C-alpha cells in the first residue's frame, strides 16, 4: 500500500498493491490501520452514467469522513474544505479515480464532496464514519465561482439532481468551525 498526503491537510490517497496473474487480480481495499482513530459505520454504492455530477454534499450535525473508490469506470472526485477556521478554507482537491488506478481517496469530516462521471457508467463505493441522516444534508453548488473547480467537462454536459442544481453558494453555506 502506498499512502500519499495531498495538498490539503488530512486528505490522502491510498494506492493498493495489486496482485495479478492470468486469472485476474486481488488487492486490499481497506485495512483499519490506514486510518487510525476512524471507525466506519456505513458503506454506500452508487452507479451513475456519464455526465452525472453528484455534489458537493455534506452533513453538518453528523459529519462524515469518506473513503471513496471506483469499482468500474472513472470519475473526477472533488473534496472542498469548508472548515471556516482552516488555512485551506474554500480550497479543493480534485483527482481522477478509476477501476484502472484503483486509488482510494480519504476525505475527512469537514469537507464537501462530489464527483463527475467520466466513463459511460461508473460504480462508486464509499465507506462513511457516520450514518446518513435525513434532514442534515447540505449541498454547495458545483460551479460556485468562488471555488473555481476545474471540472474536466470537455464535451460533457453535467447531469444534476434538482437538489444539486439548486444548491447554495459557499458564501451562504452552513460551514464547520
Q: How far apart are CA 97 and CA 50, in angstroms?
A: 14
**Surface-to-core class of residue 61, CB atoms within 10 Å of its CB (0-12 exposed, 13-18 middle, 19+ buried):** exposed
DSSP secondary structure letter of residue 123: E
Q: Is there a contact between 81 and 92 (Cβ–Cβ < 8 Å)?
A: yes
Active-site residue, 126 included: yes
DSSP secondary structure letter of residue 114: E
DSSP sequence for 17-83? PPEEETTEEE-----GGGSTT----EEEEEEEETTBEEEEEEESSS---EEEEEEESEEEEEEEE-B
Active-site residue, 57 included: yes
* Catalytically annotated residue among 58, 76, 92, 126: 126
Query: How many Cβ atoms from other residues are within 10 Å of residue 131's Cβ?
Result: 11
* Catalytically annotated residue among 25, 57, 113, 138: 57
Q: Is there a contact between 106 and 65 (Cβ–Cβ < 8 Å)?
A: yes
Q: Active-site positions?
A: 57, 126
Amino acid at each position: 500500500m502506498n499512502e500519499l498526503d495531498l495538498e490539503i491537510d488530512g486528505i490522502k490517497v491510498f494506492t493498493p498493491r495489486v496482485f495479478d496473474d492470468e486469472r485476474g487480480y486481488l488487492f486490499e481495499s481497506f485495512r483499519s490501520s490506514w486510518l487510525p482513530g476512524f471507525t466506519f459505520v456505513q458503506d454506500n454504492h452508487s452507479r451513475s452514467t456519464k455526465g452525472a455530477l453528484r455534489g458537493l454534499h455534506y452533513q453538518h450535525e453528523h459529519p462524515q469522513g469518506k473513503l471513496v473508490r471506483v469499482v468500474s469506470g472513472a470519475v473526477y472526485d472533488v473534496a472542498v474544505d469548508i472548515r471556516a477556521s482552516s488555512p485551506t478554507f474554500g480550497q479543493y482537491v480534485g483527482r481522477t479515480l478509476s477501476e484502472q488506478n484503483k486509488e482510494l481517496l480519504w476525505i475527512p469530516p469537514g469537507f464537501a464532496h462530489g464527483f463527475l462521471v467520466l466513463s459511460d457508467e461508473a460504480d462508486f463505493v464509499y465507506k462513511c464514519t457516520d450514518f446518513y441522516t435525513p434532514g442534515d444534508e447540505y449541498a454547495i453548488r458545483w460551479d460556485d465561482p468562488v471555488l473555481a473547480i476545474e471540472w474536466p467537462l470537455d464535451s460533457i454536459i453535467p447531469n444534476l439532481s434538482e437538489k444539486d442544481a439548486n444548491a447554495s453558494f459557499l458564501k451562504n453555506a452552513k460551514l464547520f468551525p
